[in-house]
Amino acid sequence: SSELTQDPAVSVALGQTVRITCQGDSLRTYYASWYQQKPGQAPVLVIYGKDNRPSGIPDRFSGSSSGNTASLTITGAQAEDEADYYCNSRDTSGNHPVVFGGGTKLTVL
Amino acid sequence: QLHLQESGPGLVKPSETLSLTCTVSGGSISSSSYYWGWIRQPPGKGLECIGTIYYSGSTYYNPSLKSRVTISVDTSKNQFSLKLSSVTVADTAVYYCARRSRSQNSAYFDYWGQGTLVTVSS
Q: Name the residue facing B105 among A30, A91, A102 (closest C-beta).
A: A30
Q: Does B108 touch chain A (CB under 8 A)?
A: yes
Q: Is the pLDDT of residue A36 over 80?
A: yes
Q: What is the mean pLDDT of residues A35-62?
A: 97
Closest listed residue to residue A22, CA positions, set A41, A35, A37 = A35
Closest listed residue to residue A47, CA positions, set B76, B108, B48 = B108
Query: What pLDDT shows up at residue A94?
Result: 63
Q: What is the spatial distance between Cα B110 and Cα A23, in angstroms, rounded to a whole number?
A: 22
Instruction: Give yes or no for a contact between B99 and B28, defined as CB atoms under 8 angstroms apart.
Output: no
Q: Is the pLDDT of residue B105 over 60?
A: yes
Q: What is the spatial distance between Cα A44 and Cα B7, in angstroms, rounded to a whole number?
A: 20
User: Which residues of A lie inside 8 Å of B (Cβ-Cβ)?
Assistant: 29-33, 35, 42-45, 48-49, 54, 86, 88-91, 95-103
Classify residue B51 as left (phi > 0), alpha (psi -120 to 50) or beta: left
Q: Is the pLDDT of residue B40 over 80?
A: yes
- A106 forms beta bridges with A10, A83
- A108 forms beta bridges with A12
Residues of A within 8 A of B107 (CB-CB) are: 30, 33, 88-91, 97-98
Encode pLDDT of A73-87 as tens digits.
Answer: 999 999 999 999 999
Q: What is the mean pLDDT of residues B39-64?
A: 95
Query: What pLDDT shows up at residue B57?
Result: 94
Go through chain A and tell me how many residues it has. Answer: 109
Query: What pLDDT shows up at residue A95?
Result: 57
Instruction: Give yes or no for a contact between B6 and B96, defined as CB atoms under 8 angstroms apart.
Output: yes
Q: What is the spatial distance between Cα B110 and Cα A80, in angstroms, rounded to a whole number?
A: 20
Query: What pLDDT shows up at residue A1?
Result: 47
- State percent of chain B over pLDDT 70: 100
Encode pLDDT of B6-32 as tens digits.
Answer: 999 999 999 999 999 999 999 999 999
